[in-house]
Amino acid sequence: MGFSSSRFSLLPQLAALLLAVALGGCASEPSYPPRQPSAQVDSKLPQHPGARIAAAQVGTPYRYGGATPRGFDCSGLVYYSYRKAGIQVPRTTSAQLRNAHRVPSNQLEPGDLVFFRLGRGAISHVGIYTGDDRFIHAPSSGKRVSFTTMNDPYWQARFIAAGRYR
């Protein structure tokens, strides 16, 4: 008893369907808020509570005006993270800078806020310094909360000030 060729013609289509279903899980959006960092990664996080809370939000989407794990703008990430850590900060970038204790850039400590001017005019971006010349921030529309380096020429050229809240 032999197999007909019509039975074998379905095999490539069935294989393609199974592959699409298997890969479809990789392409789906992750659920938010992101999981807490693993113990291995956690040991490398700064000890400042606000910075640790912000680091737990890595992967959260940028959302203009956002200040919750559903989405953050830059000052909303600072506001949320510091409030969760019991540190009172204003909601906007300009107010965060205005009310912070200024810190020289060569004296940055984990948890200090770093402020940038991205265009003409006022201060327009804030991040949380995490040590080793890195900071965490909610970059811009279409991006997600992430770490970046202060050594990047883009950020170096736009750095304006640093401030501390305790």
Q: Is 74 a catalytic residue?
A: yes
- Local structure of 136: helix, strand or coil: strand
Q: Is 137 a catalytic residue?
A: yes
Q: Which of 26, 48, 74, 101 is catalytic?
A: 74
Q: Which of 26, 48, 101, 125 is catalytic?
A: 125
User: What are the DSSP calls for 62-106, one per residue?
Assistant: B-TT-EETTEE-HHHHHHHHHHHTT----SSHHHHHHHSEE--GG
Q: Which of 26, 48, 101, 137 is catalytic?
A: 137
Question: At 129, which helix (H) or strand (E)?
Answer: strand 125-131
Q: Is 48 a catalytic residue?
A: no
DSSP at 141: T
Catalytic site positions: 74, 125, 137
